[in-house]
Structures are given as structure tokens and as C-alpha cells.
Amino acid sequence: MHKHIKPSGVEIKARISNTLFHTIESHCQQTGESMDHVVQTALARGLGVEHHTVYQISTSTALVDGVYQGCVDVGTIKGHGDFGLGTFDSLNGEGIMLDGHVYQALSNGDVIEPPNSATAPFWVSTEFEADRELTLEQVLTWDDLCQKLDKHLNSDNLFVAIRIDGIFEEINYRVVCRTNPGVDLVSATNHQAEFTFNNVTGTLMGFWSPSYVRTLNIPGYHLHLLTDDRKHGGHVHGIRARNIRVRMMDASNLVMALPETPQFLKADLSHDPSEALGKAEGAKS
């Protein structure tokens, strides 16, 4: 049995009009967003509070060591942003969060919207509001994309949320398969589904993380794909494209929620997972 992480923050009581309540309720039903998320977003924008905060569940070291038990549900994740990525209980597919919707890319190639009760062992999300925007006229490889994005990092010490939209001449991605608890990440990613598509329209979303957080997060670039038709997606490791739109957001705040599952509490997380992460990611960090 896993223990859910309680949502962070302060609970408040406020009286609002019936009309406003029904408007919020209708919006949540149409978009799938939680009421907490809608109200918090509206308050933050109305009061001019910047959302440049990364919310993270668990650590990369735990993931490397096979701590895959779901510890927070999708409904809670939706309350901490509208953009991000992660994975699901037992490493069952790639997690994608775009425009407030959460998607699960499965190893059979399907993409579904999981129920709010579905759980994740690792997730990173934010409220995405771009600080800057650029167009990359030509991208030849994954390494080429990383090098071009490097030129637009404002600091080596901040997190950066990255959204890339466009038509991808070629995109290579993988999706992890459901794995038994305790199997290390390198072994788990030796058995994964690989996909290649040509001339597909979609979005890459994810983060660049500083090297000093390698025991907490995946250092460097970590991007997932979701096609515009919402039928394909996964962890990107190869790309060729022209005239793609890039939006970037610096994040100086990090909020972490650590699991209280027996597996996490007993795990030895004292080692450096960099080498294992490099092998498992299969792409330049």
C-alpha cells in the first residue's frame, strides 16, 4: 500500500457568488483541471504573483534505484501546474502534462488520459508562462538542439521549463514498459518501446536542470513529445526539424514532495546516479 502525499499549501475558506462558483465548476468539467488549480492560477494572475516554481515528486536517485511505486495521484499533480512530465506507477509509460491535461504514453504506442486516481512515483511540473521566445530555423540532431538551446540559458544554476512547437521532420522517442519494483532504471530501460515518426506536428515539453541537482533531478535537457492529435508521445532522444517555435521560462523556486512509501524510506540514496541516468536516458544531458 502506498501513502499519498498531501497537497502542499494553506487551506482557506472564502465566500464567492453562486455564478462565479458555477463558472469555475463548468471550467473544471470542460478542461479536467482541479478547482484548486483554477482558483490558485486566477489569484496568482490577479495579484501579479509569478508562478516560476518547479514542483517535483521524489528524486532521480530513487528512480534509478527502482523506487517506482506511485505515491501521488494525478488529481494532486494537476493542482501544482499545467505543464510537465514524469512517469506512472511501476514505470508504466511516460507522463506528459500540457495545458493542464495529463497524458500517459504507453509502450504499445497508445496515449490515454489517465484518471485522477492514477499515481506517479516521479513527476516535475510548473505553471508555464514563457519569459522569452525564439525560432530555430534548423535542427539537425538532438545534440544540435541542445547546443542551440544552450545559447539561450540565462544561468547555469536555474531550472528552465521549455516548450517547443512545430512540425518535426523526424522525431525519435521511447516509452518505458511496466517494470517490477526494485528493478534498477538501467535494466528497466533495456526493454523499452522505440518509435520514429516523420513530418509530425506536435509539442515537446520538459525541463533543463542544473548539474548540481543530479541526485534530485535529471541534469540537462529532459523533453517529452505529444503530437497534436494526442495519439503519440514519449521521451525524446532524436530530432530533425525546421522553423520550430521555442518558449522558455526560468524557475528560481523548487518545491519537493518526498514519498513516504516503505520502499523510499528504506532506499539507500547516498550515491551519485549520474552514470546510470546517462545510460538510461540514452541522450545527451
* Helix axes of 18-31 and 35-47: crossing angle, nearest 10 degrees: 110
- pLDDT tens by residue, 96-127: 999 999 999 999 999 999 999 999 999 999 99
Cα 23 to its chain centre, rounded Å, is 29
**Bridge partners of 124?**
56, 85
Distance of CA 268 to the CA centre of its chain: 25
Give the CA angle between residues 215, 88, 269 to the nearest 5°.
25
Report how far residue 85's alpha carbon sits from residue 233's, in angstroms, rounded to the nearest whole number: 11
What residue ranges define each of the domains in the chain, with the CATH number in brackets? 15-49 (no CATH), 50-285 (3.30.1330.80)
In degrees and rounded to multiples of 5, residue 106 shows phi and psi of -95, 160
Question: What is the pLDDT, as a whole number, of residue 190?
Answer: 83
Q: What confidence tens digit (pLDDT) does each residue in 5-24 have?
A: 444 456 788 888 988 999 98
State how far the Cα of 60 lies from the Cα of 85, in Å rounded to an integer. Answer: 13
In order, the DSSP letters of the chain are ---PPPPPS--------HHHHHHHHHHHHHH---HHHHHHHHHHHHHT----EEEEES-HHHHHTT-----EEHHHHHTT-SEEEEE-GGG-SEEEEETTEEEEE-TTS-EE---TT-EESEEEEE----SEEEEEEEE-SHHHHHHHHHTT-S-SSSEEEEEEEEEEEEEEEEEEPP--TT--HHHHTTSEEEEEEEEEEEEEEEEEE-GGGTTTS--EEEEEEEETTSS-EEEEEEEEEEEEEEEEEEE-EEEEE---SHHHHH----S--HHHHHHHH-S--
Contact at 8 Å (CB) between 97 and 125?
yes
pLDDT digits (tens, 9 = 90+) for 50-99: 568 999 999 999 999 999 999 999 999 998 999 999 999 999 999 999 99
Q: Is the pLDDT of residue 274 over 90?
A: no
Phi-psi region of 33 (alpha: psi -120 to 50; beta: other; left: phi over 0): beta
Half-sphere exposure (Cβ direction) of 187: Cα atoms closer than 13 Å: 8
List, for residues 16-56, the tens digit of each pLDDT value: 898 899 998 888 887 666 777 678 777 766 765 556 899 99
Confirm if 177 and 91 have CB atoms less than 8 A apart.
yes
Answer whether 152's CB lies under 8 Å from 132's CB.
yes
pLDDT of residue 279: 79
Predicted local distance difference test score (pLDDT) of residue 51: 60
